[in-house]
Structure 1
Amino acid sequence: MPATLDDQKRSAIAEKLADIKAIQNLIIDNEQQFLSECSDNHLRHRLEDMLEDDQKNLDIVETAITQYGIQAEPKPTVQEFVSQAKETLASSRLSMYEKIAQHELLKHGQVMSGLVVHKAAQVVGQDIEAAIAPLNTVNFENRAHQEQLKGMLEYLGTLELTGQEPKQGLWARVQDAVAAATGVVGSAVTQTSDKESADVMDLIFMDHQKARTLISEIRNAENDDQVKALFGQLYKDLVVHAKAEEAVVYPAVQPFYGDDTQELFDETAEIEGILNELKAMPSAGDQFMAKLKELKAMIGDHTRQEESTMFATIRKNMSSEEQQQLGMRFKETKQSLQSQM
């Protein structure tokens, strides 16, 4: 087996990503509960929109974990916190104001966790930055949600203290804050706002980017240990990617991509062959780097074909929904393969 990157730092990031996913599930559960308890149309509309965003964001978090390539469980303390939070927020003793206040703190925690993961990725490796890039969208939306939740708290707090809704001027100021926060998001959110989940082309492209980054890091590694560790991750990522494409993507595109599909099968077989040659070589020395250069060229040819002609054919022949469904199958296949390696 090749060396892997499951060292302390990378495993810690994997665990943090698992924590983020656990909290994201809690956030969704909370919002579903709030909707079941809330009859105020002002709040319901905002909660419904927020829930829709958060369900999409859960898919983005899962995508980032899959792209990262290291599966982990949430910390026991986080699992315990989630259990206690569910029990607390289900209590009829808490007012809606108190529940929303706790929810806003969860959103703040998610923002900070996302930022910390990005900072850690900058320290540990560019391949991690590439893998977790989708989390940017989640962070931006969570910030916008915080502003909306603050507006809800002002509304609920005034209502609970006085029995009356706040003046429209107050709510208008809150809406201005929401609009300002949402504007900061820019294209990072709007790029995917019309999608329920990442489509197959998004996922394949992210895999390609990560592979290119890892190869660059291997070529610039400072010592043999780094080469072994980085190649271990590259080997795992590319084998999983290739097998998932062979199992899910290529059969799906073959009816309209025709004979070119066989070329993709042949290229992935060649790539796996070169990977196994590299795996059997000493990682120090010119022979390894020469073979790595050959791998880089082979991957370059393969990814250019996929990102140009195959992607164009997918766009022409598959609806947006079909592209997303294929992406989901591709991601699930990768997750299954990762758990076996």
Structure 2
Amino acid sequence: MADIIDLIFEDHHWFRQRFFYLDSATGEAELRAVWEPLAARLETHADAEEAIFYPALLKRGDSGDPKEETEDAIHDHNEIRDAVKAARAEAVGTPGWFAAVGEARKQNGQHMDEEEREGLPDFIKSATGQLRHDLAMQWLQFYYEHPAGRGVDETDKDPEAYIRDHD
């Protein structure tokens, strides 16, 4: 059976790898080849979590504080989106671009660490295997429907409004 937790961890691993690949990329073409798919996937991942994972955590999470975990995650997603937008506003390989990409890396790293310590363990304890499988199937469909980040919602969300709308 597929598992939403495994799919989120797969993305986290992929993100870490791609940020490391940026460290060894040289020249605009290599930087762009690593960054553009990474930026698109960061946005797709955030939108998928907001559409699939966090609504389920709000309903099922009971071993931690799902509202606080969700509020933190939405705030983190906004910071990541803002850094991706800032990088897109700069020429690839310039100091401004590197600063924005570095901010995306920092914000994403903090988000993944927090999510792996709090939200994911909470959900593992509180969700059935069947629910985790069902959400994994939704996740896979979401990625299929949004290849290379096309059609994802890149707008910042108000964390409190998000919780009200999904709780």
CA distance in 2, matches of 1:301, 1:218: 18
Structure number with the bigger relative contact order (C-alpha 8 A, sep ≥ 6) is 2
Shift of 1:295: 1.4
* Deviation (angstroms), 1:287: 2.4
2:142 is aligned with 1:333: yes
Partner residue in 2 for 1:314? 123
- In the aligned structure 2, how far is the partner of 1:222 from the partner of 1:340? 25
TM-score when normalising by structure 2: 0.81
Equivalences for 1:139-150 in 2 at 5 Å? none
Instruction: Quote the residue 1:245 is aligned against.
Output: 49
2:82 and 2:37 mapped to 1: Cα distance?
A: 16
The alpha-carbon deviation at position 327 of structure 1 amounts to 1.2
- Partner SS, residue 281 of structure 1: coil
| Structure 1 equivalent of residue 165 of structure 2 | none
Structure 1: gaps of 5 or more residues: 1-195
Contact 2:5 2:120 in 1 (8 A): yes
Instruction: Report the alpha carbon displacement of residue 340 of structure 1 after superposing the two structures with TM.
Output: 6.7
The answer to whether structure 1 residue 324 and structure 2 residue 133 are counterparts is yes
Change in Cα spacing, 1:273 to 1:339, as seen in structure 2 (3 Å) is: closer
- Asked if the contact 1:244/1:333 (under 8 Å) is kept, the reply is yes
Q: Secondary structure at the match of 1:258?
A: helix
Q: Does 1:211 align with 2:20?
A: no
| 3-state SS, counterpart of residue 146 of structure 2 | helix
Write out aligned runs for 1:121-200 (5 A): 196-197=1-2, 199-200=3-4
Q: Give the CA RMSD over aligned residues.
A: 1.5
How many equivalent residue pairs?
Answer: 145
User: Structure 2 vs 1, CA of residues 301 and 279 (structure 1 numbering), >3 Å: closer, same or farther?
Assistant: same
Structure 1 residue runs of 4 or more that deviate by more than 2 Å after TM superposition: none
Q: In 1, are the aligned partners of 2:18 and 2:38 still within 8 Å (CA)?
A: yes
How far apart are 1:260 and its partner, in Å? 2.0
The answer to whether the 8 A contact 2:84-2:104 is kept is: yes
**Paired residue for 1:263, among 60, 72, 81?**
72
Residue of structure 2 equivalent to 1:282: 91
Code of the aligned partner of 2:55: P
Which one has a bigger Cα radius of gyration? Answer: 1
Are the aligned partners of 1:219 and 1:289 in contact in 2 as well (CA < 8 Å)?
no
Percent identity between matched residues is: 23
- Name stretches of at least 5 consecutive residues in structure 2 with no aligned partner: 151-167
